Amino acid sequence: MNVAWALLLKDLRAEWRSRDRLIAMIVFSFLVIVVFQFAWPPMDSGEMLRFAPGVLWVTYVFAAVIGLGRTFAMELENDAMTALALAPGTRGWIFVGKAAATWILISVVQAMTALVFTLFFRVDLWEGAAGSVLLVALANVSICSVGTLLSAMSVRSRFRDVLLPVLLIPTLIPVLAAAVSGCAATFSGEAVPFDALQLLIVIGGVYSILCFLLFEYVLDE
């Protein structure tokens, strides 16, 4: 547990100093929203709310891929991956620290993206915001769990920039389906759908446990 906490603080401190991942994700998200703004046909706010979950989650996922691609990049310097492998305790806690730091960064970017979306498209996403935040937070658990594991697998590959999204996005299809359908309901002011909530909790739990257990073997490779 101490290893996870130390890595979490280290990654957040390093990101605060450089802000390379954070800025890259924010700029990408804002550009996607601007492109959609120019391409979107005129429609009223009610119709816009029907398409808002899809637009936001497309932006969220690809911004997350950018951030996840840099999760272990800094560890390649000075062979820090070897130092991580030699850290005392269960290596799964290294995964927990890395995934938690990424979860925080992605959540910050998503909150800023949602705010920019409301300004550009003039839609009210505050109704049912609590349910939407819950769905996004649960979906991020799956995204960061699988993404951290796959990032560790692909970091030494020459094709890591291509390999990560190719492996990550197919594994997130059920997560994205539940998140989009759930956000479509909460954006309209409805209660959080139980089916979507249950699916996100189950998948997030399974992915987190599997990635925790498998990370030791991935780090050995």
Query: DSSP labels for 31-80?
Result: HHHHHHHHHPPP--HHHHHHHHHHHHHHHHHHHHHHHHHTTTTGGGGGGH
- Estimate the share of the chain in helix, then strand, then coil, as percent rounded to the nearest 5: 85, 0, 15
* Per-residue pLDDT reduced to its tens digit, 38-50: 877 777 767 777 7
Asked whether residue 14 is assigned to any structural domain, the reply reads: yes
Residue scoring higher pLDDT (79 or 203): 203
Q: Can you give the pLDDT at residue 87?
A: 63
* Per-residue pLDDT reduced to its tens digit, 91-150: 777 888 888 989 999 999 999 999 998 888 777 777 778 888 999 999 999 999 999 888
Asked whether residue 161 is assigned to any structural domain, the reply reads: yes
Q: Which of 72-81, 121-130, 199-208 has the highest mean pLDDT?
A: 199-208
Average pLDDT over every residue of 150-174: 83
* Per-residue pLDDT reduced to its tens digit, 5-31: 777 777 778 778 877 888 989 999 999
Separation of CA 64 from chain center: 4
Average pLDDT over every residue of 196-217: 91
Asked whether residue 159 is assigned to any structural domain, the reply reads: yes
Overall domain count for the chain: 1
110: nearest Cα among 44, 66, 174, 173: 66
Asked whether residue 41 is assigned to any structural domain, the reply reads: no
Q: What are phi and psi of 68, to 5 degrees?
A: -65, -30
Average pLDDT over every residue of 80-84: 62
Average pLDDT over every residue of 178-186: 90
Q: Could you give the percent of the chain with pLDDT greater than 70?
A: 89
Asked whether residue 203 is assigned to any structural domain, the reply reads: yes
pTM for the model? 0.88
Per the structure, the complete domain to which residue 24 belongs is given by 2-33+47-220
On the question of pLDDT at 78 being above 80, the answer is no
Neighbouring residues of 137: CB distance < 8 A, sequence distance ≥ 6: 107
Asked whether residue 164 is assigned to any structural domain, the reply reads: yes
Asked whether residue 40 is assigned to any structural domain, the reply reads: no
On the question of pLDDT at 157 being above 80, the answer is no
Average pLDDT over every residue of 187-207: 90
Residue scoring higher pLDDT (40 or 173): 173
Q: Can you give the pLDDT at residue 83?
A: 61
- Helix H, strand E, coil C: the string for 91-128 is CHHHHHHHHHHHHHHHHHHHHHHHHHHHHHHCCCCCCC
Asked whether residue 39 is assigned to any structural domain, the reply reads: no
- In the structure, what pLDDT confidence band is assigned to residue 176 with cuts at 50, 70 and 90? very high
- In the structure, what pLDDT confidence band is assigned to residue 68 with cuts at 50, 70 and 90? confident
Q: Could you give the percent of the chain with pLDDT greater than 90?
A: 33
